[in-house]
Structure 1
């Protein structure tokens, strides 16, 4: 009986002295291989010197003792089972399935020309502090009596709650619409066709905020420089410092403060960019009664922002009343806007000085990221793994809900498509938190879009035109692996930088600092490093506790003026012995 002892190789395993009887059918030899490896016969491929062994006969295969036989195949448990639920491709999904799979927010059903309300609701939902405040509101919806502000607030709370539970499905905002109609009857006006008439989305925006303003309490905090009655004032409200000067008489300049919940970008022939439209609003001429002249006179009004809110909404003033057609006609002009906004030059000198410390930290962060990119791009370097990231406070320590840098990031756009505010279509466009992914929220349809698509909403034709922009605070990331400061230390460092920059603000003028232990001296500094070192010494001298107590700075009487100087930096500094 021709029996041979062969060597069987199966993957990384080797089986020596396996008996093979060529007088028997090869199926019996394969049964031995199954016993050794667990690979079933139908999964086996047995080869010797390039020839494949069949089940019925040995064919041209010639065995001898010590021959190497190659076995290919896998055990049944190594083969993945067919999925119980077959995969569904994106192309085969309906809108609800797509929204749920991609974690889209819920859309809102159009109840008949209610796109103005839907777009407003979607944009405001991007403010997490507002959503948190609504969750804490305990009021209930009522369509009777004089508690309409509470009903609007409760209805919006319930709608947001339903949207959070909706898993991307469309939600009909019946209750909120009823409450708005009760609170603002003009929103319930019917058209000649019997349906609801289209309304101005920005009017809906401002009216909803005014309702919430009455019911949502402000967040409390220690050492607050000003108390707010509402979270709307706290997070959406800003203040102007306004100077009014008569151009026809020698009246003293009148200084006052004005509050705002929204900035206006006026569109004129010269305005091509949103920023220039905002600047034009800050310098204007008005006509009012002059107590000195006893008649109407022209006054020059100059405004600067002295308090920035965390969330800044900007309206493009695109609609004007056209008497001939008796409609609010639309200005279609292309007005460019940015995804990132810096409003430093819109602020008062006092606020600018408060913004500088946080802006310096942003600059340090950006410089550090540039260096990291350079390191990663070196040949042979591996990618740096980003540690857990936290963010620095975006508000001033004594003013919760403010913006402490002047930097903003666009997070929502409300657009209008059409030729008048009473017709056409409104759509919301929002950015997913923490990402650069944008979504188009066209009533119940939610579609992913790119940042480039958002920038195309600047106007110039019959396409969707930006009408209201909502900017949120730009957040400064802090790598926990490198920055171990707790919140108290972070505030202290920002406070210290703030006082240093107050001293550096004297560039171009003499800064006089009185101190009991030093004499006054004058020094010219030709470079910023010297000036920075001197200013640091001044603050450390006045504030030995590290810059926590501004009263000490005021006590020793530093005086500075906001004037510029070209070339040499001159100031007086205290000389220490």
Structure 2
């Protein structure tokens, strides 16, 4: 009997008719208790008939209908409530009050070293096309462990949109259960039996893999997935042997993210990406009959709308048997231009939209100067409506047609090893930024985000998510609203999530 209804007693409080599904991991039940009592799962001691509930197993913890479950544990220290008449200033508010006052979104509870999962979800949530697809996902469609993980992520997105803290806690617990089913290596436990910290990049890759399988654009079996459409790019690769006179070998490779390798010379993201595009590798030479050195040159031939970049900060340290961390400061920009990394053919196709951006920038500067001279700083602003131009090529929705990107999420790590420390998501919301530190969400500035470049024990950027830079052009009041393409070809149907 996997589902039972029990009574939960915490101190003087009694909560009757709490439904428990023992097919879920015990952390799901603890998340339910958190939603009822406010006691964090790691602070809970859950007892029934003298047996204490473990985090990883229901063994020996037998539940039956109407069983009495005792919960011991206290909430974290709360800031005393101010008198009703007293004015509350932002500087004096605690994090919960600040979230309420500023209408901040919900966070995700840490179920015990699950910050890597929470940060990954918050970053992916910033992609509107992906978020909408998950909100509309048919959870009854099956699909094995990949389908279970996608369904759990769909439930989590719904909870984050409008579910409240209790629903978010339960959804996070189910997502963790589904993630462990899809990737058992992420369910490893430490010597004390607690969940071990995991690498956020591995979690990101596992979730993206499941979404690639379960979110097709069309019902046809061979249709491209939504992930491939909006996150996938292609590289034109050329291999030239440095030790023999061989004809160059040309091929095409697909990618869902780019890597920025960190060396002594790399101080900026752009230089790290460039170095990866021209590298020396060793491979078997058919001409020489042995391994030889080749120069591998890569150029991007298809840019995705959303560009994921990983800082390769971890390496295996044999002496300590840990994935040690490179703390070096590597600057990254809010606005990224990848034009120089593209093939000549793609560069030519990018030029029309890039010219549009340049024309708008020049017109904006000229208009600003004219307005200042005419009005002598009277504070009047241009009230013209704006028309949005598509960021994709008309025949390739989900691509990027300018090479310009805007940073929209940063996943950071604080600590010295990928198997320890703490992960946090920093996400853009309109013109502002939010820090999503598990269940705590607080506003931050762009300056604080740019300080996440590394160089010490503070949070270091590990994964960057760039979205397409949107071009908005002024439109006269008597003009019809337009969304148009920069080519002479008819524009494709816009994604449903584009606003």
- Residue in 1 that maps onto 2:217: 218
Q: Relative to structure 1, is the Cα distance of residues 379 and 249 closer, same or farther in structure 2, using a 3 angstrom cutoff? A: same
- Residue in 2 that maps onto 1:427: 424
- Residue in 2 that maps onto 1:206: 205
CA RMSD of aligned residues (A): 2.3
* Secondary structure of 2:151's aligned partner: helix
Q: Relative to structure 1, is the Cα distance of residues 485 and 282 closer, same or farther in structure 2, using a 3 angstrom cutoff? A: farther
- Residue in 2 that maps onto 1:116: 116
Structure 2 residue runs without a partner (length 5+): 1-83, 491-499
Structure 1 residue runs without a partner (length 5+): 1-83, 221-226, 497-546, 549-577
Please list, as runs of the form range in 1=range in 2, the aligned pairs for 1:437-476 lying within 5 A after superposition.
Answer: 437-476=432-471
Contact kept in structure 2, 1:333 and 1:459, CA below 8 Å: yes
Please list, as runs of the form range in 1=range in 2, the aligned pairs for 1:181-192 lying within 5 A after superposition.
Answer: 181-192=180-191
Deviation at 1:125, TM superposition (A): 0.3
Q: Relative to structure 1, is the Cα distance of residues 269 and 203 closer, same or farther in structure 2, using a 3 angstrom cutoff? A: same
State the TM-score, normalized to the length of structure 2.
0.76
Deviation at 1:375, TM superposition (A): 2.2
- Residue in 2 that maps onto 1:260: 255
- Residue in 1 that maps onto 2:67: none
Q: For 2:263 and 2:91, how far apart are their aligned partners in 1?
A: 46
Quick check: 1:102 aligned with 2:102? yes
Structure 1 segments of 4+ aligned residues over 3 angstroms from their partners: 84-97, 166-170, 379-382, 482-488
Q: For 1:213 and 1:483, how far apart are their aligned partners in 2?
A: 44
Deviation at 1:285, TM superposition (A): 1.4
Q: For 2:281 and 2:452, how far apart are their aligned partners in 1?
A: 33
State the TM-score, normalized to the length of structure 1.
0.66
Q: For 1:448 and 1:316, how far apart are their aligned partners in 2?
A: 25
Q: For 2:411 and 2:307, how far apart are their aligned partners in 1?
A: 14
Q: For 1:215 and 1:482, how far apart are their aligned partners in 2?
A: 44
Q: For 2:151 and 2:403, how far apart are their aligned partners in 1?
A: 33
Q: How many residue pairs get matched?
A: 401
Q: For 1:170 and 1:329, how far apart are their aligned partners in 2?
A: 36
Quick check: 1:385 aligned with 2:416? no
Quick check: 1:351 aligned with 2:346? yes
Deviation at 1:368, TM superposition (A): 1.2
Contact kept in structure 2, 1:107 and 1:170, CA below 8 Å: no
Contact kept in structure 2, 1:96 and 1:168, CA below 8 Å: no
- Residue in 1 that maps onto 2:53: none
Aligned with 2:150 (options 153, 168, 174): 153
- Residue in 1 that maps onto 2:309: 314
Deviation at 1:302, TM superposition (A): 0.6
Q: Spell out, residue by residue over 1:67-94, the C-alpha distance to the aligned partner (whole angstroms, 9 max, x if none).
A: xxxxxxxxxxxxxxxxx99865445655
- Residue in 2 that maps onto 1:495: 487
Structure ranking higher on relative contact order (CA contacts 8 Å, 6+ apart): 2
* Secondary structure of 1:377's aligned partner: helix
Q: For 1:232 and 1:184, how far apart are their aligned partners in 2?
A: 19
Please list, as runs of the form range in 1=range in 2, the aligned pairs for 1:504-523 lying within 5 A after superposition.
Answer: none
Deviation at 1:471, TM superposition (A): 0.3
Q: Relative to structure 1, is the Cα distance of residues 169 and 479 closer, same or farther in structure 2, using a 3 angstrom cutoff? A: farther
Deviation at 1:140, TM superposition (A): 3.6
Q: For 2:298 and 2:447, how far apart are their aligned partners in 1?
A: 33
* Secondary structure of 1:472's aligned partner: strand
* Secondary structure of 1:370's aligned partner: helix
Deviation at 1:347, TM superposition (A): 0.3
* Secondary structure of 1:118's aligned partner: helix
Contact kept in structure 1, 2:211 and 2:227, CA below 8 Å: yes
Q: For 2:326 and 2:91, how far apart are their aligned partners in 1?
A: 39
- Residue in 2 that maps onto 1:162: 159
Q: For 2:98 and 2:163, how far apart are their aligned partners in 1?
A: 13
Q: Spell out, residue by residue over 1:104-135, the C-alpha distance to the aligned partner (whole angstroms, 9 max, x if none).
A: 11111000000000000000000000011112
Contact kept in structure 2, 1:318 and 1:467, CA below 8 Å: yes
Aligned with 2:356 (options 361, 370, 374): 361
Contact kept in structure 2, 1:110 and 1:444, CA below 8 Å: yes
